[in-house]
A and B are shown apart, each in its own frame.
Chain A
Amino acid sequence: MGANTGILDWYTILTGVIALVTLTAHGALYIAVKTENELNQRVRAVALWAWPLQFILTIVGLIATCYVRPMVLDNYKQHAIGYLIPVVVFGSLGVMIYAIRKGLDKLAFVGSALYIIGMLVGAAFALYPVVLPASTNPAYNLTIYNTAAARHGLNVASRGGSSPWFLLWDISLSCSACSGGR
C-alpha cells in the first residue's frame, strides 16, 4: 500500500466500493418512495443496513484521499467556505438515518441525493482548476484552462449555438419518459 496509485489499486477499489454502497442505499430509498407494504419495508431495511457502511466508508474515503493526494486540502485552506461541503455531506447522512428510522422515505431520499451532490461538489472544489491530475508531474495536469475549446467554439456553445439543440433533446427525452421509456 503506497501513495503512488495506478489505474486499478486499493484506492480505486475503495472508491468503487463507496460508490456501490452509496448507490445501493440511494436506489433502495428511491424504490421505498415508490412502493409500500412488504416491498417498501424490505428496501427500507436495505437502506438501513447500508447506512453504517456508507458512514464508515465516507470517513475512510476522506482519510484515504488526503493520504494519496494531500494537496486536495489546499483549496479548502484558501477558501474556508469550502468546509461547508463536508458539513452538508455529514448532515445529509444524519438526515438519512433519521428519516429512515422515522419512515420518512421522501426525506431520506432527498438526504441521499444531497449526500451524492455534496461528495461530487467536494471533489470538484478540492481539485479546481485541475480536471485530470497527472501522476508523473503536476506541470502536466489537465486544467479547465489548458483543455478548454477555442473561444469561438465556447461562444457558440454558451450563447445558444447548441443550447436549443439540448432543449430539443430534452423535449425528446420527456416524450420518451411519457411513453414509458420506450
Chain B
Amino acid sequence: MVEDCNGNALVHDCGRDGGGLRGARRFDLGAGAIYLGAGRTSDDRRKILRAIGPVWDGNEVWLVAAGGTLYFAFPLLYASSFSGFYLPLMMVLWLLMLRGIGIELRRAHGESGLGGLLRSDLLRLEHSSRNLFRRGLGNVGVACLWERMDISLSRCGRISEWARTPASSTGIPSSPE
C-alpha cells in the first residue's frame, strides 16, 4: 500500500498499482458513468473514487486551460462557440462543479453527504472557496507580471517603462533596453 502526501491510502489498497500506466493519470473519463452500476457496495464505490481521486480535478483544470488557450489563440472561435453553445456549456460547467462537490462530500461524510453538508461542510466549502480564490488571485498576479516583463522586452520608450515598473517593485532585475 502506498500513501499520498497526506498519509491517505491510494488506490493500491485495491491490490493493483497501475505503475506501468503513469500516462493514465490523465484519462480517467467515464469512471463516474459506472459508479452506481458497478459499485454495488459502499466499499466498491470508495475504491472507484480512490482510483480517480488524485487526478479528476487536474483533468478538469486542463479543460479550463483548453478554453484559455482557445481564447488567446482563436478569440473569434471562442466567442462564436461560447455564445452559440451557451446553454450546453453552462450545463457542463454546473455539472462539473456539482461533481466536485459530490466527490468531496462523499469523501468527508460517506453516504450521508447531504446531511454532512448541513452539519459542517458549509464551513469546509467556505474554506475551500477562500483557498481557491487566493490561489486564483496569485496566478493572475504572476501572469500579469510575466506579461508586463514580456512587453518590457519587446517594446521601448514609455510603454517599456510602464511595463517595467511592477517588475522592479518586486525586486526582479529589469530587462535592458
Contact B6 A179 (CB under 8 A): yes
Contact string against A for B residues 121-152, beta-carbon threshold 8 Å, 1 for contact and 0 otherwise: 00000000000000100010011001100100
Cβ of A178 within 8 Å of any chain B Cβ, yes or no, is: yes
B30 / chain A contacts, CB cutoff of 8 Å: 22-28, 30
Contact A33 B77 (CB under 8 A): no
Cβ of B57 within 8 Å of any chain A Cβ, yes or no, is: yes
Q: Contacting chain A: which of B21-29, B111-119, B158-166, B169-177?
A: B21-29
Contact partner, A109, options B14, B21, B74, B146, Cβ 8 Å:
B21
Q: How far is the CA of A106 from the CA of B20 in the complex (A)?
A: 8
Contact A31 B38 (CB under 8 A): yes
Contact string against A for B residues 1-31, beta-carbon threshold 8 Å, 1 for contact and 0 otherwise: 0001110101100111010110011011111
Question: How near does chain B come to A97, taking the closest CB pair, in angstroms?
Answer: 17
Question: How near does chain A come to B63, taking the closest CB pair, in angstroms?
Answer: 12
Cβ of A64 within 8 Å of any chain B Cβ, yes or no, is: no
Contact string against A for B residues 81-119, beta-carbon threshold 8 Å, 1 for contact and 0 otherwise: 100110000000000000000010000000000000000
Contact partner, B139, options A22, A164, A169, A176, Cβ 8 Å:
A169
Q: Contacting chain B: which of A67-75, A81-89, A142-150?
A: A142-150
How big is the B interface, by class?
Answer: 35 or more
Contact B74 A149 (CB under 8 A): yes
Question: How near does chain B come to A9, taking the closest CB pair, in angstroms?
Answer: 14
Contact B77 A147 (CB under 8 A): yes
Cβ of A60 within 8 Å of any chain B Cβ, yes or no, is: no
Q: How far is the CA of A159 from the CA of B21 in the complex (A)?
A: 31
Q: How far is the CA of A132 from the CA of B85 in the complex (A)?
A: 12
Contact B74 A30 (CB under 8 A): no
Contact partner, B24, options A30, A142, A157, A177, Cβ 8 Å:
A30
Cβ of A3 within 8 Å of any chain B Cβ, yes or no, is: no
Contact A181 B55 (CB under 8 A): yes
Q: How far is the CA of A181 from the CA of B18 in the complex (A)?
A: 18
* Known A-B contacts A39-B47, A109-B21, A178-B5; A20 and B33 likewise in contact (beta carbons under 8 Å): yes
Interface residues of A in 11-34 (CB under 8 A from B): 20, 22-28, 30-31, 33-34
Contact B55 A131 (CB under 8 A): no
Question: How near does chain A come to B74, taking the closest CB pair, in angstroms?
Answer: 4
Closest to B143 in A: A165
Question: How near does chain A come to B67, taking the closest CB pair, in angstroms?
Answer: 13
Q: How far is the CA of A42 from the CA of B120 in the complex (A)?
A: 35
* Known A-B contacts A27-B31, A46-B37; A147 and B75 likewise in contact (beta carbons under 8 Å): yes
Cβ of A136 within 8 Å of any chain B Cβ, yes or no, is: no
Contact string against A for B residues 29-61, beta-carbon threshold 8 Å, 1 for contact and 0 otherwise: 111111001111000100110111111111001
A180 / chain B contacts, CB cutoff of 8 Å: 4-6, 8, 10, 53-54
Contact B15 A37 (CB under 8 A): yes
Which residues on B are within 8 Å of A, measured CB to CB?
Answer: 4-6, 8, 10-11, 14-16, 18, 20-21, 24-25, 27-34, 37-40, 44, 47-48, 50-58, 61-62, 65, 72-77, 80-81, 84-85, 103, 135, 139, 142-143, 146-147, 150, 154
22 contacts between A and B (CB under 8 A): A22-B30, A27-B30, A30-B51, A31-B34, A35-B11, A35-B14, A39-B38, A109-B27, A113-B24, A131-B77, A146-B76, A149-B73, A153-B72, A154-B73, A157-B73, A179-B6, A180-B5, A180-B10, A180-B54, A181-B54, A181-B57, A182-B6
